[in-house]
Amino acid sequence: MPELPEVEIVKQSLVKKVINKKINRVVIYNRNLRFKIDKNLEKNIKNKQIVDISRKSKYLIIHLNEGKFLLIHFGMSGTLHLSNNEFSNKITNLSFYNKQRLPKKHNHIVFFFSKFKLIYNDPRRFGFVKLLYSDQELKSFLRKYGPEPMDVSFNFNYLKSKIKGSKKKIKNLLLDQKFISGIGNIYASEILYYSKIRPNKIGRKVKNSEIKQIEKFSKHVLKKAIKKGGSTIRNFINSEGLDGSYQKEFKVYDREGKECSTRKCNGFIKKIVISNRSTFYCKNCQK
DNA sequence: AAGAGGCCCTGATAGC
DNA sequence: TGCTATCAGGGCCTCT
């Protein structure tokens, strides 16, 4: 589900609600997520206070007191929901919810706070949660991931050094989290549209001028997506139950057969499959 | 050793 | 209406 912008939105919507709050209790209904949830998770989280919330790549990081960190990855279909304690499984009191927004199935983890609960829901169970016990452990976990488009180390020289020597298709490079972290299937297609590069172009054939475009538009696209509250295709909502609207800005993603929106292009959006993922581009303006 | 594709899983939707 | 097939914001693992 979420790529960097969506996780960022979840982070932002959660910060206001849970900072400095104490987790009284955790109940896990299904431990079989992408990875089996550690059997000690409940007791290691119980009575811990949330001191901060951050995000790296597509991970939400919940900072607990005593230097522990709870990592949440949303996979394809994971979401977090805030709900009122008194009306546990019924309609919440919080005004921003409506009935449809509270899932009944696939609520795998519930964090109980004194006045509300936070629910991790994930129909496909491709997501996971992981408790890390120190700064060191967090650092070494995150070391596997490349810079995000907003980072200073995400610059022309870095991109060039990795792209020029690669036989990978450029779209697969953008999706490689070890190289760049945070971009997923939607934004990869969008970034390549703005950069005017065909998704199946081999890395070493990508020109310097095109690498500059990738640098520029990776930042642009993600920033704008965050500004618009992320993309809601089927089930993404922030933790307050609100949709994103960046899907209205899509130039190519999920627009197969539609007209290219580049002025005077008159081309149509084509869909191809690269490494089993749908990929969208305009044959006319992407070379 | 690098790169592509299979696969994990459930639900929504399209097509018959 | 009800079936079946296809496909979905990810990424680890296994082949070649």
DSSP letters of A182-250?
S--HHHHHHHHHHHT--TT-BGGG--HHHHHHHHHHHHHHHHHHHHTT---SSS---TTSPPP-GGGG-
Q: What is the H or E stretch that residue A73 is in?
A: strand A68-73
Q: Is the CB of A126 under 7 A from strand C?
A: yes
pLDDT confidence of residue A96:
36
pLDDT in tens, A6-54: 999 999 999 989 999 999 999 999 999 999 999 999 999 999 999 999 9
A254: the nucleotide nearest its CA (via C1') is C8
pLDDT in tens, A237-257: 777 777 889 999 999 999 999
The pairing of strands A25-28 and A269-274 is: unpaired
pLDDT confidence of residue A242:
77
**Protein-proximal positions, strand B, CB < 7 A:** 2-12
**Protein-proximal positions, strand C, CB < 7 A:** 7-12
Q: Is the CB of A167 under 7 A from strand B?
A: yes
pTM for the whole thing? 0.94
Q: Which amino acid is at A284?
A: N
pLDDT in tens, A97-156: 334 467 779 999 999 999 999 999 999 999 999 999 999 999 999 999 999 999 999 999
A58 belongs to the catalytic site: yes
Catalytic annotation, pick one of A2, A5, A149, A199 = A2
A115 belongs to the catalytic site: no
Name the protein residue, with chain letter, whose CA is nearest the C1' of B9: A124
A74: the nucleotide nearest its CA (via C1') is C10
Q: Is the CB of A166 under 7 A from strand B?
A: yes
Q: pLDDT exceeding 90 applies to what percent of chain A?
A: 86
pLDDT in tens, A80-92: 999 876 444 443 3
A2 belongs to the catalytic site: yes
Spatial contact of A7 and A55, defined as CB atoms under 8 Å apart:
yes
End-to-end, the C-alpha distance of chain A in Å comes to 29
A147 belongs to the catalytic site: no
